[in-house]
Amino acid sequence: MLLDVENIVRMSGHAWGRSGYRIGALFFLLVLGAVALSFSSPVPSQTSPTASATQSPVPQALPTAPAQGIPQTISPAMPRAGLNVVVLDPAHGGTDPGARGTGGIRESEIVLDFAAQVRRSLEAQGFQVVQTRQGNEDPSFDDRSAIANAQSGAVFVTLHIASTGLPGTARVYVNSDLPVTTGVGGLIPWDRAQTPFQGLSRKLGDFVQGLLAQRFKGSPNTAQTAAVRQLRTTAAPAIAVEISSVVVEDRADLDRMAPGVADSIATGVAAFRPSYVVPTAAGGTP
């Protein structure tokens, strides 16, 4: 279109004479104005609302190294005598705020604060803690699992705030029963990495849930079962802890729960430690 306009201007100068030049210039300005207007407020693109749809998972071998770009606070080569690493996962983050309360409470922000307190309690128990995110990032489910799968002898704890449930209660979830499957050479498919750890996850979950039930009245006494996506690809004893809920009017109600939640998780993991026979290789089966 610009080439045409240049031609018109050039032609108007040579062949059309003075009046033609004026008409050409006027036309050029009109076209310029129209183009500027159309670009100043573009029509929004029609994106598919099912952009989150995923393809069927392709089984992969378990990784032996953490995903690139994921923050690590310990060296995978560090020698270990037993369970001493806890991978702590503050859920959501980035463009995914998670559950949102009417009072503006965002799950992704609160779980970061909870994670800081849980981390301190775990470190006080002598555990090394690796967080899947430190700030407002949103690693994928697989990136978060990869951090745990790269550790030898770690447990995985993902932290959530519910949008429903009795306020002031806490629930621990372990993954639903997955059929036991092993691939070629005894490798576990990536999308079923949790399978060999289900029994240990249940044990860890019951320890932590029992302690939470003592502190937060109305919480169940044993861990619940759910098909939590984050847990499925984690090759370690893995639990999800969900606090109720973002519907509280005052965020301080949730903040007051943080020390109790942190202590219950740390004490529960410490109680679980003797039960866990640490695999010899990262991502190995117990």
Partner 1 sequence: MTARWIRWVVGILSVSVLVGAIYFPILRRRLRLAAKLQQETAEQARRELTQAVPINSGEPRVKAKLFWASGNGDGTLLDSTVELPLLSDPVLRSKQVLNTLLAGPVDADLRTLPPDAVLLAFYLLPNGTAIADFSEALATATPSGIQSEQLAVDSITKTLEANVPKVQRLKILIHGQEVETLAGHLDLTGTFLVNANRVQAAPATSPSAGKPSAPATDKPAPTATRSTKPGSCLGREH
Q: Name the residues that contact partner 1, by CB under 8 A.
A: 22, 26, 29-30, 33-34, 37-38, 41, 43-44, 46, 49-50, 52-57, 92, 96, 98-100, 107, 141, 160-166, 169, 171, 173, 176-179, 191-192, 218, 220, 224-230, 232, 240, 242, 244-245
> Of 84 and 233, which CB lies nearer to partner 1 in the complex structure?
233
Q: Counting beta carbons within 10 angstroms of the beta carbon of residue 228, is it exposed (0 to 12), middle (13 to 18) or buried (19 or more)?
A: buried
CB of 129 to partner 1, least distance (A): 22
Phi, psi (5° rounding) for residue 49?
-70, -10
Both tokens assigned to 103: 């009072």
> Of 54 and 75, which CB lies nearer to partner 1 in the complex structure?
54
Q: Tell me if 271 sits within 8 A of 207, measured CB to CB.
A: yes
Q: Helices 198-215 & 258-272, crossing angle to 10 degrees?
A: 140
CB of 220 to partner 1, least distance (A): 8
CB of 74 to partner 1, least distance (A): 28
CB of 43 to partner 1, least distance (A): 5
Residue type, 262: A
CB of 117 to partner 1, least distance (A): 21
In the block, tokens 């060296």 appear at 75
> Of 74 and 97, which CB lies nearer to partner 1 in the complex structure?
97
CB of 177 to partner 1, least distance (A): 5
Render the burial of 151-190: b for 16+ CB within 10 Å, e for the rest.
bbbbbbbbbbbbbebebbbbbbbbbeebeeeeeeeeebbb
- What letter would DSSP give residue 62? P
> Of 49 and 274, which CB lies nearer to partner 1 in the complex structure?
49
> Of 7 and 221, which CB lies nearer to partner 1 in the complex structure?
221
> Of 92 and 119, which CB lies nearer to partner 1 in the complex structure?
92
Q: Counting beta carbons within 10 angstroms of the beta carbon of residue 82, is it exposed (0 to 12), middle (13 to 18) or buried (19 or more)?
A: exposed
> Of 50 and 280, which CB lies nearer to partner 1 in the complex structure?
50
Q: Tell me if 247 sits within 8 A of 164, measured CB to CB.
A: yes
CB of 162 to partner 1, least distance (A): 4
Distance of alpha carbon 173 from alpha carbon 238, whole angstroms: 9
Peptide bond before residue 245 is cis, with ω within 30 degrees of 0? yes
Distance of alpha carbon 178 from alpha carbon 226, whole angstroms: 11
